Structure formats: C-alpha cells, structure tokens
Structure 1
C-alpha cells in the first residue's frame, strides 16, 4: 500500500505571516505553485493560496504590497502524516475540497513535505477521479464578514 511519503514533494518553500501578499504571489510565480505553507518559525500557522490572494485580498481592494499574508491566509489547514495511506488522504481531500495538503512529521510537528492531487494523479491513479469530482463540486463563496467591508 502506497503512503504519502512515496508521493510528497519534500523541498517545500514556506512564507512568514508577516510577508506581503505581493511576495507570496511572486513566490508562487517563481515556484509555479498555487499555494505556500505559512510558517511562524517552524510552526505551521496557515496556507496561502492563489485563491486567497484573489478573493480575500485583491477583491477586497487591498494593496498587495501592504496586505500581509497572515491577514488573508487560510488558517484551518488540513495536514497529513508521511505514513498515512494515499487512499486515506485522497478521501480527506475530497471531503473538504482541497487540492494540496502539507505533510507534517508526527514527532517534530514540522512540515516535511506537501502532497497535491496532481502528485497522486501522476503516481497513484486509483481514487483520484472520485476525489477530483468531489473537489470540483462548487462550494459556497468564502466571504469574510470582518473589517469594514459591506456586501450589498
């Protein structure tokens, strides 16, 4: 049975919550990725995605050079362990409609990798179609109700 450590990308770049949204977007462009783990020291505190930047920051009119990663990142981050089975993690990804999951070492609690639906599709095709279908089902818009933004 294949485990996540067989699929994951190991050299994971991260960003600090104090960095600007513009720097996060530049890193995504340089690395050709759609999300970056946000670490405070060695502790995972969130994920920032291209969608977070577009929907939570740009659409709200925030200046990318001034808005902070910590203000727009997703904080409810699902993680997995290197020894979890691929099928188990695929199921979790489908349940919560996510495409990428940070891999966290159970002993040190440090991010040791990241696994994406694309990684699994390339190396483990079983179950990927069903997970992709679940992830692709439209969800309710993610709208912040904090701050001075008013929706009409």
Structure 2
C-alpha cells in the first residue's frame, strides 16, 4: 500500500515564529498532538504536544515564546509514493509515531501516523512498529 492511500491530507501548519500558546491552540482546535512547522513554503521542523510540555512548559518558557524554541528541527519525512512498509521502518528506526508526507518536490502534502496505517489494514505491521518505538532508545528490538 502506498503512503498516499492512508495519509491524512487535512493538515495544519505553524511557522517557527508562532507562539507556544498559538500552536497549542491549533492542536486543540484540530484535536491533534503533532504539527508540521513550515517557513517560506518549506518544511523546517515539527512540534508535538509533548515538545510544548517538556521542552517548553517544564523549562519555564512563557506561552508567548516562539515555537522555534521547542520544535524538532530534525526533518524526518516520507514520500507520498513510498510503500507504507518503508514509512513504518523509518518510524520504527527513528522512534516516531507520525511523520510529514511530502511529494517528490519536497512540498508537504499530508501526515502519516501509525493509527492511519492501522485503520487501513496495516494493523500488525503498525503494532510491531509501535513496539519498537516504545522501547527505550538503544534497546534491541525483540522481534526478528
């Protein structure tokens, strides 16, 4: 199955200069815990509700602090024309539950999550990937 067949296309994007509070509000409105961060029509990072809580609130950052203070700048993404097993392998290896999806011009076109893949009949592979994601970093996977 191709990533494009099960990804979410209804995405919201924040910019690095959005505030923590405004990004959290976008997440609340969209009922999402993950947002791509873009600037000048390019993906520059991602932010999760956990990033806001742990990297922001726990460190005492003000609600009006810029999102760039807490966002992940490591760009992990997959292509819309990739097979879902490739996306799952990357998610498992990088221990993430969601990834931005880009086209071959590297323009953001969606988001893929383990839940998306499980809903589309990829439950067993998604479950195995979740097991890898949940293990502590550096620990070896228990499956072969």
TM-score w.r.t. structure 1 length?
0.87
1:114 aligns with 111
The alignment's C-alpha RMSD in Å is 1.2
Q: 5+ unaligned residues in a row in structure 2: which ranges?
A: 139-144
Q: 5+ unaligned residues in a row in structure 1: which ranges?
A: 141-152
Aligned ranges for residues 97-136 of structure 1 at < 5 Å? 97-107=95-105, 109-123=106-120, 124-136=122-134
- Structure 1 residue ranges (4+ consecutive) displaced by more than 3 angstroms after TM superposition: none
Query: 2-side partners of 1:35 and 1:86: how far apart?
Result: 19
Distance apart, 1:41 and its partner CA: 2.0
Residues 99-132 of structure 1: CA deviation (Å, up to 9, x unaligned): 011001112x210011011101111224112101
Distance apart, 1:77 and its partner CA: 2.1
Residues 8-61 of structure 1: CA deviation (Å, up to 9, x unaligned): 111211001111000011111110111100000210000011111011110100
Distance apart, 1:70 and its partner CA: 1.0
Aligned ranges for residues 34-45 of structure 1 at < 5 Å? 34-45=33-44
2:52 aligns with 53
Number of matched residues? 137
